[in-house]
Amino acid sequence: MSSGDLALQGVTRSQAGNYSCVASNVEGDGDSNKVELKIMYKPVCRLEQKRIYGVARHENAKILCEVESYPPPDSFRWSFNNSAENVDVPQMRYHSGLHHFSSTLTYTPMNELDYGTVMCWANNLAGRQLEPCIFHVIAAGKPDPPFNCTIANQTSESLEVECSEGFDGGQPQFFMLEVYDQQTEALQANVSAKFPLFTVSGLDPGKILKMIVYSANSKGRSEIVLLEGLMLKVAEKQTVLSLGTRDQLEIAPILGILVGIVAALLLVTVVILGALKVRAAHREGSRALRPGFLPVKEKITLPLRSESEDLFEKDDKNPDVIPANK
């Protein structure tokens, strides 16, 4: 970019769009008018088109070819290829769409050789489409069964079943889910859907369910996919711990054993304390009864002798002295 001019080299489709410039000074910013840049390019196939068509013999198939280009295409060309030949399709058998970005071929297979590959090219001012849009015409058949089916968002009364789509057999398909009580074989629910995503409600809690999933089209139904599920019990009837984890279920017996051991230890402790208390009470009772049948010996103090008794005793010991009172 120089002197207010923008030069783009090697432009591609992604650079198409509106361009504008902004000038700034001390007073502020100013925007220019927008200029649209259009990039001319040859037609290319639009992504996410239906590529496989299942058709029965003598049945008309509408094969749609869509392209992107600038400017729009001014013409289309179709051809058919099988293992034996490659031929151009007459122009009378196809027509362009309203906006000229699509062409629809009406194709009717009459025998086995009419099944094969159909290709289309578009042309515009930039040139002819380099890579054709390729479509496969096959004999229509039953669809393939759904796969990768899983059960999700399960509650005591509802659940969801989600699968991946299989091949549709070349025909529009739809999907079915049948829910049975596994014990009584009674049908609990029957749900159809355009896509293999089902929501089932109003189920009975605590039941074991058998679920059958399959797809179908105008040619018939696919093989079934069998699922089994156990409906959760309501909260009042659940015997699982509140968190409901496997680890908690494994820890529960251990907790029971520990509680039993602690209770036994407490019981033994109470018995021992009771025995010690009874023994102490027995000793106290023995001390209270001892004075009645085991009298304690008391210290006896003998009286002192009188002087007269001492005098007589002295006289007895000295016979030659005559007592004064004799």
Secondary structure E strands in 182-306: 187-193, 197-200, 208-217, 220-221, 225-230
Residue 315 has pLDDT above 70, yes or no: no
Q: Which positions ≥6 away from 66 have C-beta within 8 Å?
A: 45, 46, 49, 101, 102, 133
Q: pLDDT digit string (tens) for 223-275?
A: 999 998 887 776 544 443 344 444 555 666 788 888 889 999 999 898 898 88
* pLDDT the model gives residue 33: 87
| CA 133 centroid distance within chain | 40
Of all residues in the chain, the percent with pLDDT exceeding 90 is 44
Q: Residue 5 class from Cβ within 10 Å (0-12 exposed, 13-18 middle, 19+ buried)? A: exposed
* Rounded Cα–Cα distance for residues 49 and 118 (Å): 14
Categorize the per-residue pLDDT at 22 as very low, low, confident or very high, splitting at 50, 70 and 90: confident
* pLDDT the model gives residue 293: 47
Of all residues in the chain, the percent with pLDDT exceeding 70 is 80
Q: Locate 77 and state its tokens.
A: 């060309």
Top-tier CATH class for 42-139:
mainly beta
* pLDDT the model gives residue 23: 85
* pLDDT the model gives residue 170: 81
Q: pLDDT digit string (tens) for 152-204?
A: 988 888 999 999 999 888 888 999 999 999 999 999 999 999 999 999 999 98
* Residue range 147-237, CATH number: 2.60.40.10
DSSP, res 281 = H
Q: Where in the chain is the domain with CATH 2.60.40.10?
A: 42-139, 147-237
Nearest to 132 by CA among 72, 80, 60, 74: 80
Residue 97 has pLDDT above 80, yes or no: yes
Contact 196, 175 (CB under 8 A): yes
